[in-house]
Amino acid sequence: MEVKASLKHLRTSPRKTRLVADMVRGEKVDKALNQLKLTNKKVTLPLYKLLMSAISNAENNFELEKDNLMIKEIRVDDGATLKRWMPRAHGRATPIRKRSSHVMLTLAEIVESKKDQDTKTKKKGILSKPKRVKSVDEKSEVKKGNKSEKVKDEKQPENTNTKQAKGKEFVDPARVASRGGHAKIEGGSGVQPKKSFRRKSG
């Protein structure tokens, strides 16, 4: 079983960080913690916190024992580099590169435990498969012996908004009004044509 922890954007150059990372690579967890405590380097404190984080992940999330853990891999990669400038003689400017690093830590068991992955997680229901919910069509099926017949859905009512309903033409009064006419009123003759305008000749 492997447990991982990462540290991103550490404001120390990878070259300086690797000096301390090489000291604890492949060591047991207890020995690595003591080595980091006694090392007089600025980067030892972030690496110490990273190692403690990986140990707590192993104990709380996977129920592993601290005495049975070792540092399998510790990798230091280049991070983002900040570009700055420094004034020099004769009006020149020289670049200053403020480097950062990413640290990836992997812990492994010295003696492999025979626990399943389901029992290692704190919440056992996470990895269990969700129950399949039957759809409406499946529920409507009626099983008779070896054959299954679907229950016929009720006939949907016919749409009255169609242009032709039961052989008769259907006219929407709202559409007639939008064309410039008026809806049929009691005593009226329905749609009235527009009056044409003729210019009087002089």
Which residue ranges make up each domain of the chain?
A: 2-113
Give the residue with greater pLDDT, 100 vs 148.
100
pLDDT band at 6 (very low <50, low <70, confident <90, very high): very high
Q: Is residue 122 predicted with pLDDT exceeding 90?
A: no
CB of 76 within 8 A of CB of 102?
yes
Side-chain-side CA neighbours of 150 within 13 Å: the count stands at: 7
Q: Is residue 167 predicted with pLDDT exceeding 60?
A: no
Average pLDDT over every residue of 172-176: 59
| pLDDT score, position 163 | 47
| pLDDT score, position 39 | 96
Question: How far is the C-alpha of 163 from the C-alpha of 175, rounded, in Å?
Answer: 12
| pLDDT score, position 159 | 54
Give the residue with greater pLDDT, 123 vs 79.
79
Q: Is residue 128 predicted with pLDDT exceeding 80?
A: no
Q: Quick one: residue 180, left, alpha or beta (phi over 0 = left, psi -120 to 50 = alpha)?
A: left
Give the residue with greater pLDDT, 22 vs 179.
22
CA distances to 23, 33, 94, 125, 202 from 103, rounded to whole Å, are 14, 16, 29, 32, 98
pTM (two decimals): 0.57
CA distances to 98, 158, 160, 169 from 164, rounded to whole Å, are 78, 11, 8, 5
Distance of CA 115 to the CA centre of its chain: 29
Which helix (H) or strand (E) segment is 87 a member of? Answer: strand 82-87
Q: Is residue 141 predicted with pLDDT exceeding 80?
A: no
| pLDDT score, position 113 | 83
72's tokens: 């399998």
Question: How far is the C-alpha of 189 from the C-alpha of 183, rounded, in Å?
Answer: 10
Question: How far is the C-alpha of 190 from the C-alpha of 184, rounded, in Å?
Answer: 4
Q: Provide the CATH topology of domain 2-113.
A: Ribosomal Protein L22; Chain A (3.90.470)
Average pLDDT over every residue of 13-32: 96
Residues 6 or more apart in contact with residue 7 via CB below 8 angstroms: 46, 47, 50, 102, 103, 105
Average pLDDT over every residue of 156-181: 54
Average of per-residue pLDDT values in the chain: 78
If one counts every other C-beta atom within 10 angstroms of the C-beta of residue 69, the result is: 23
Query: 64-117: per-residue pLDDT in tens?
Result: 999 999 999 999 999 999 999 999 999 999 999 999 999 999 999 999 887 645
Question: How far is the C-alpha of 120 from the C-alpha of 192, rounded, in Å?
Answer: 83
Q: Is residue 1 predicted with pLDDT exceeding 70?
A: yes
